[in-house]
Structure 1
Amino acid sequence: MNGNIRVGQLFGIPFFINPSWFLILALGTFWFGQEFALSLPQFNGFASLLLGLVTVLLLFASVLAHELGHSLVAMSQGITVKSITLFIFGGLALLEKDAEKPWQSLAIAIAGPLVSIALFILFAGIGSANIGLPLPVLAVLSFLAPINLVLALFNLIPGLPLDGGNILRAIIWKITGNPNKGLLYASRVGQVFGWLAVVIGILAVLGISPIGSLWTTFIGLFLLQNAGMSAQSAQVQDKLDHLTAQDAIAPHSPVAPVSMNVREFVNNYIIGQPQHSQFILTNADGKLLGTLNPESLKTIPTSLWTETDLSTLLNTETLPLTIPAHQSLLTVVKQLEKQPNTTFVVVDEQNSVLGLLEKASIINLLSKEKSDDAPTLPPEQPLASTEAEG
């Protein structure tokens, strides 16, 4: 999310606050302030609002602890946590990559709710212990304890983008051996719960349903949007997994044999042809030898082009990366996520060059498929979890 404000870091994880967070901070402060004014008449006016502010801040501290639960488990698996962001619906932890195994994904997903349950037990235990705490502290704890329990139970709903959805995804991944199926099914369940929340919220606003509120509708819309994005991502990734690097080779790839002179190269590959910043040169067997920068042609006088071998301009110092033709396109995309501007040379089993592959050629391939999937690549980093509060 753009416009986030960095507020510090812990365990090397940067913390951000989205501007939307300030809205829920203000609303929460006002709502809790009213509750404290009713339950503690001696703390009215500014005092009740101050207690409300403290409660909201501690609530978001609980959300932060929830996200740290996910993050620390992910870090124990060697996964870098890019950031933790607090926003209007709670918090999210952004991971560098997905877990490699379903049980690892399950451990990351369940860690957050376990932290919230632990906080519920802690706050409830302190609140019920007869240790002479001031009345305002006990009042704050009386809110924090049940809210953390609700936060844990709500996030265990088995639909993305909630933690329960990630748990369901991991289970289906384990059963089917296909992480994309787990992602798709968990996304669909998330959409079902999203529509259910929207309907309940609307009925409550109309006075038909005794449960729910306008906030329930907003949460439902949030679930629908994120679950829909996850489902779309799963469909695209599944399609990519069934395609190979050879399928996405760019048409008219700038590949040329080195066995010609400069004049022949210019006539056949430069004049009247698409502009390229780099050409791949191959030997008689089609194997990669090196690259040629068209700008280097200017170093040879045109009068000498016919008698100058193309190999004179061959660059062998920085060879491009090669990938096998049968490589899953999804694996290629994951490589592109780490090296966005990389152009790969696709080779067959004999290491003969078949052509070039880049991000644009993958997008073009998906477009040609004319599928319902959007011709976009999967998100660069998966969403670890999202906590919706209400």
Structure 2
Amino acid sequence: MMFQLQIARIATAPLPVWIIWGLGLVTALLLFLSVLLHELGHSLVALHEGVKVRSITLCLFGGIAQTERDCPTAMASLRVAAAGPLVSLILSGLLLGFFPTTKSIHPLLGNLFGQLGALNLVLALFNLLPGLPLDGGLIIKALVWKITGSQRRGIQVANTTGRILSLTSIFAGIWLFLRGGGLSSLWLVMLGCFGLGATRNQSQILALQQVLRDLQVADAVNRRFRVLEDDQPLRRLSQIRLSSTADQRPANWVLVCRAGRWIGYLDDQPLRDLPVQQWDCQVVANHVRSLDELSCISDRAPLWQAVRALEHAHDGRLLVKNAAGIPCGTLDRCDLGEAVLHKLGVALPETFLAASRRQNAYPFGLALSQVVDSMTATDLTEDSV
């Protein structure tokens, strides 16, 4: 619309409406091409630093170049973050530099170059604002990372500056609106709210990452398995299943021991394969399966590793072993999520936890697998404040 108004002012004769709208469309397409070049700047430097780029998503004031992981060093991260605004500044300089020449050729062509040059300058300056998730915030993160040696500290500082910037934008927009700035001043409020939401999400992710790194599996382990001696009749397994609550899903594991030593586990397949008449004459030892078939994890492993292991567990739970390799409990998504929320000071009623356990899901729909993916992608599994 701004470009169309400029055309109306400089045109020596009235232009058809379709030409005005057509030139506006060309300007919009060239702007998105500029945004694409901005993101390609990030992507090419990331590839040069050995980081693969998954995708590029475009929006009005920039885009997102999604990488598989963060750069391994602070300076590499700084170069990737600065590449996009640098491309926009170069484009702005070239377009504005050719503005006088193109204007002498034709006013409309000069106006096109001038508008695109100004828009690229705005694009660069907007993305250089010092707050996540903008490029300026990533630059702040890289600089603090370089100075302190802690990537996590860099994220915290950039997130704080982003929160301050967002609040400033909100209050400035409200002040301008009350001073008669009109509805256009509310754009500052909208941008501030968007930035504030992004910083709040980042703060929550940082808190979850800290908990997943600090807690061990032993802090979340539960004991949801039954024990049978290997010389007991198979009917004991049937009795255990009948005594379980109807809504208990998945059914508790049944571990088998002999003279105080664990020798394996027992599933329900023998009950399905054998007639009821043979349950008393068949002993558990004849149907024992190896514990190695179960997904296992050490009780000393950090909780973020358990999140990863649960994603690959065939029935969504893990057998927890102590340092001696002896089973000491079980862990499912509900147990893990409950431990994380408890560490954050959130207590859930048992009925809510039971529903989550039946669905084999994290309470509150916690996206812990995505949080762990971001930890490993940015090498934050060992970084500490």
Alignment of 1:330 onto 2:330: no
- Cα deviation per residue 1:257-312 (whole Å; 9 max; x = unaligned)? 673533334445662353425737466687684x6443542213333334434344
> By how many angstroms is 1:222 displaced?
0.9
Equivalents in 2 of 1:161, 1:76: separation in Å? Answer: 22
Q: Which residue of 2 aligns with 1:33?
A: 4
Distance 1:264 1:192, change over 3 A: same
1:245/1:324 contact within 8 Å kept:
yes
Given candidates 64, 71, 79, the residue that maps to 2:43 is: 71
Residues 376-387 of structure 1 mapped to structure 2, 5 A cutoff: 376-378=366-368, 379=370
Alignment of 1:299 onto 2:273: yes
Q: Which residue of 2 aligns with 1:227?
A: 199
> By how many angstroms is 1:326 displaced?
2.1
Q: How many residues align?
A: 352
SS across alignment from 2:83 = helix
1:288/1:352 contact within 8 Å kept:
no
1:277/1:294 contact within 8 Å kept:
no
> By how many angstroms is 1:337 displaced?
6.7
> By how many angstroms is 1:79 displaced?
4.8
Equivalents in 2 of 1:341, 1:115: separation in Å? Answer: 49
Distance 1:126 1:164, change over 3 A: same
Given candidates 360, 369, 374, the residue that maps to 2:343 is: 369
TM-score by length of 2: 0.75
> By how many angstroms is 1:234 displaced?
0.8
1:241/1:328 contact within 8 Å kept:
yes
> By how many angstroms is 1:220 displaced?
1.1
Equivalents in 1 of 2:108, 2:187: separation in Å? Answer: 27
Given candidates 234, 238, 242, the residue that maps to 2:214 is: 242
SS across alignment from 1:308 = coil
1:236/1:377 contact within 8 Å kept:
no
1:102/1:174 contact within 8 Å kept:
yes
Alignment of 1:310 onto 2:284: yes
2:102/2:110 contact within 8 Å kept:
no
Given candidates 232, 235, 259, the residue that maps to 1:263 is: 235
Which structure's relative contact order is higher, taking Cα pairs within 8 Å and 6+ residues apart? 1
Distance 1:359 1:145, change over 3 A: farther
Q: Which has the larger radius of gyration?
A: 2
Q: Which residue of 1 aligns with 2:20?
A: 48
Distance 1:271 1:172, change over 3 A: farther
Q: Which residue of 1 aligns with 2:119?
A: 147
**What is the identity, as a one-letter code, of the residue corresponding to 1:297?**
L
Equivalents in 2 of 1:255, 1:75: separation in Å? Answer: 52
> By how many angstroms is 1:36 displaced?
2.5
SS across alignment from 2:293 = coil
- State the identity as a percent: 30
Q: Which residue of 1 aligns with 2:89?
A: 117
Measured on the aligned residues, the alpha-carbon RMSD in Å equals 3.8
Q: Which residue of 2 aligns with 1:346?
A: 320
Structure 2 runs not aligned, ≥5 long: 348-362, 378-385
> By how many angstroms is 1:58 displaced?
1.2
Equivalents in 2 of 1:149, 1:263: separation in Å? Answer: 78
> By how many angstroms is 1:224 displaced?
0.9
Structure 1 range deviating more: 230-239 or 33-42: 33-42
1:109/1:163 contact within 8 Å kept:
yes
Alignment of 1:188 onto 2:142: no
Structure 1 range deviating more: 235-244 or 61-70: 61-70
Q: Which residue of 2 aligns with 1:254?
A: 225
Equivalents in 1 of 2:113, 2:314: separation in Å? Answer: 48
Structure 1 runs not aligned, ≥5 long: 1-29, 385-390
Equivalents in 2 of 1:288, 1:96: separation in Å? Answer: 42
Q: Which residue of 2 aligns with 1:20?
A: none
Equivalents in 1 of 2:37, 2:199: separation in Å? Answer: 24
- Cα deviation per residue 1:168-208 (whole Å; 9 max; x = unaligned)? 22333444454443333322221111111111112222226
Structure 1 range deviating more: 110-119 or 367-376: 367-376
Equivalents in 2 of 1:125, 1:199: separation in Å? Answer: 36
